[in-house]
Amino acid sequence: MTTPVCTSASDAATSARQTFPNATTYPSFTSYVRARQPVLLRTARSLTANPSDAEDLLQTALTKTYVAWERIEDHRALDGYVRRALLNTRTSQWRKRKVDEFACDELPEPEPMPGGDDPAEQQALHDAMWRAIMRLPARQRAMVVLRYYEDLSEVQTAEVLDVSVGTVKSAVSRALGKLREDPELGLVR
């Protein structure tokens, strides 16, 4: 007869109790983990990029908490204790990480962006556009931002600003005309 490779946590706990009869179990710890695990897992996910790493991180922190369970005097502050264990564990993992960088004679060139647009040029255009928008009068600026950055319709923009649809159309038209004539944007085109 073969032993299954993967056993459930309760089977593992039962065998551990049989192997270590003097081991202490804490029902309050079990209830705490059941109640707070989703919140603590969200915290762990915010510390790591990979959900699997977050689960491992939380498991390690909960193990450290279990070992220190008797020493924790104020059980109302458990979340803070576990969060600190999460952070300390993640910091330790980060410090121990393996760096996969190697010195080489020639620097590798990044792959060209699809469409051939340089990210620096895109950022320059973005910055120039915002500077031009900031030079518009406040009312026109608000309408342009609502129409094109917030993607509201003319009717929705009119409702937000409490003006008529015709006012929105004419103000946006004038604003776009000013943006077309803006000398800084003309250099980018």
Contacting residues for 14 by C-beta, under 8 A, at least 6 apart: none
Contacting residues for 66 by C-beta, under 8 A, at least 6 apart: 26, 29
| Whole-Å CA distances, 168 to 89, 137, 156 | 55, 14, 10
| Whole-Å CA distances, 25 to 22, 36, 79, 144, 158 | 9, 18, 20, 63, 64
Percentage of the chain lying above the pLDDT 70 cut: 79
What the block records as the tokens of 146 is: 């609502």
| Whole-Å CA distances, 46 to 17, 57, 79, 106 | 34, 11, 15, 36
Q: Tell me the per-residue pLDDT of 54-96, one tens digit each, with 9 for 90 and over.
A: 999 999 999 999 998 888 888 788 888 899 999 999 888 888 8
Q: Tell me how far apart the alpha carbons of residues 137 and 177 are, in angstroms, rounded to a whole number.
A: 13
The one-character DSSP state at 92 is H
Q: Tell me the per-residue pLDDT of 108-127, one tens digit each, with 9 for 90 and over.
A: 777 765 555 678 888 888 88
CA angle 137, 143, 146 (to 5 degrees): 135
Q: Note if the pTM is more than 0.85.
A: no
169 confidence band (pLDDT: 50, 70, 90): very high
**pLDDT computed for residue 8 by the predictor:** 40
Q: Tell me the per-residue pLDDT of 26-58, one tens digit each, with 9 for 90 and over.
A: 888 899 999 999 999 998 998 888 889 999 999
CB 66 within 8 A of CB 75: no
